[in-house]
Amino acid sequence: MSYISPKNRAVLITGCDSGFGHNVCYQLDSYGFHVFAGVLSTDSESAEKLRTKCSNRLKVIKLDVTLDEDVKLAVKEIELSGLDLWAVLNNAGIAQYALVEMGPGIDIFEKTFAVNVFGLVRVTKHCLPLLRRSGGRVVNMASVAGRFTFWGITAYCMSKYAVRAFSDGLRKELMSFGVKVVTIEPNMYKTEIVNLDLLNKTIESVWLQTSAQIREDYGGHTFYEQLKRRLRYNVEISRPEVHEVLDVQEKAITLCEPDLYYRCAAISEKPSLWFLSLLPESAQDFFLTGKIFLLIIRVLKMNVTDCEEVANVFNQIKCSGLELWAVVNNAGIAINAPIEWGHDIRELSHTFDVNVFGAVRVAKQSLPLLRISKGRIINVSSLAGRLTLNGLSYYSMSKHAIRSFSDGLRNEVEYFNINVITIEPVLYRTHIINWSLMKNTLDKVWDQSSEEVKSVYSDKYRRGYERRSKSLVEVSRKQIKEVTDYN
């Protein structure tokens, strides 16, 4: 194996306040890199430790990945240093232990995605011009939870499914520029993200913000104590060998030819994870929760927009005296454009607000009525929720997240005899696959792109991209009845 030289090369790391991000700074500093360590506060104890224990090559910078201004200033500082930005390690992440129905609205989902997904994309987009010049790489921290949805951390799992889809899409788009994209998928390790005291405080706060009716439906204080016991168990079984992940992070940055994916787990765990990945979701549920359930489909069509409208719809259903049997989360949009085009992460945010957060809003509002009827939720995902399609990365990310949401929700509401079904159509001739609309969107996103992006991708690239996009319409199936019959 051959390794790159760290001379005059910089690495930007997000989430260096604690955990993997903090500890890998020491390794990469020792290797000889100029490390830009992003922290939430440059006055914190962890920031001072980095300044004290590392060489003067390491620079601690304020970097909240949810703030566009912080990201722009960080990238500007790297540019002014005169160094080549060799790698971006997207390490910042948060996790919250809570069931889908717990907490107010969809706050947990929005906060988790703001850091784990939108923050990661924001940092990456701002750094891509520098990475193209250096021929460097993007290293994204995903998780085993990006392949299997575990009970109690659905929002976190959804975000990691989306990160995995983003990595796959970005890798395809950057191949022609010689920029590599590496994804690291750790199992559960003893870092700050699994700090029992912090997790207990968080789950207590979320539980108290959950309505009294929902708390009662789940079993009240008895269920709350069960939650804390499961949480304690998960922390106890997490691996203390954090160096396994740090060594992989170093490899991803220093190897001339790194792997596309690195999975970090005990040697004894890897065969089980591989076997589990081959099973259908219903069989995975058996191993992850100890239960298997029969899936039957019936659909009540519903369109979603915002929180207030969703609440009004379900209030009308409740007042009608009718029994709500099923909800289909069918609303969706797709923006067909490369990741680097457009204005910051506006297109990504809009896609997720409809395709993901819309589905979560509807599900949370519908569950009290579905518990009464023992009904079902049907989430319309896509083949793009399993394969990240070139040019449809944002759409694929949202559908990966929906698949994870379905798996997590199904595990949680099985107790109430509510079924959760996922439908995954291939390409069909719907409003999403409409060339006129696709062309208008493509032109709009192109016009919003920076002059540098336009010069790099060129009119020739754009015309070729349009031809490939149009071919999607030509190969899409017209037999929409195949999907509606499944419903």
Question: What are the backbone dihedrals phi and psi of residue 191, each rounded to the nearest 5 degrees, phi first?
Answer: -125, -175
Is the separation of the CB atoms in 292 and 214 below 8 Å?
A: no
Specify the pLDDT at position 301. Answer: 34
Query: Do 271 and 331 belong to one domain?
Result: no
Give the model's pLDDT for residue 295. 31
Same domain, 265 and 311: no
**Same domain, yes or no: 364 and 479:** yes
Q: Output the CA–CA distances (angstroms, integers) from residue 409 to 130, 200, 324, 349, in the order listed.
A: 40, 22, 18, 22
**Is 156 annotated in the active site?**
yes
Are residues 148 and 245 located together in one domain of the fold? Answer: yes
Residues of the chain whose pLDDT is less than 50?
Answer: 286, 290-302, 482, 484-487
List, for residues 185-220, the tens digit of each pLDDT value.
998 898 888 888 888 898 999 999 999 999 999 999
Mutual angle of helices 307-320 and 358-373, in 10-degree steps: 20
- Based on the fold, state whether residues 317 and 420 are members of the same structural domain: yes
* Cβ atoms 469, 461 nearer than 8 A: no
Which tens digits make up the pLDDT trace of 36-59?
A: 999 999 999 999 999 999 999 999
- Determine, yes or no, domain membership for 289: no
Of the listed 97, 156, 189, 262, which one is catalytic? Answer: 156
- Burial level of 34, CB count in 10 A (0-12/13-18/19+)? buried
Residue 52 is assigned to a structural domain of this protein: yes
- Looking at residue 467, its pLDDT comes to 84
For residues 214 and 126, what is the distance between their CA atoms, to the nearest angstrom? 42
Asked, for residue 73, whether it belongs to a domain, the answer is yes
CATH number at residue 133: 3.40.50.720
Q: What is the pLDDT of residue 459?
A: 82
Structural domain boundaries, residue 435: 301-486
Domain count, the chain: 2
Residues 237 and 271 in one domain: yes
Q: What is the pLDDT of residue 292?
A: 37
275 and 359 co-located in one domain = no
pLDDT of 429 reads 58
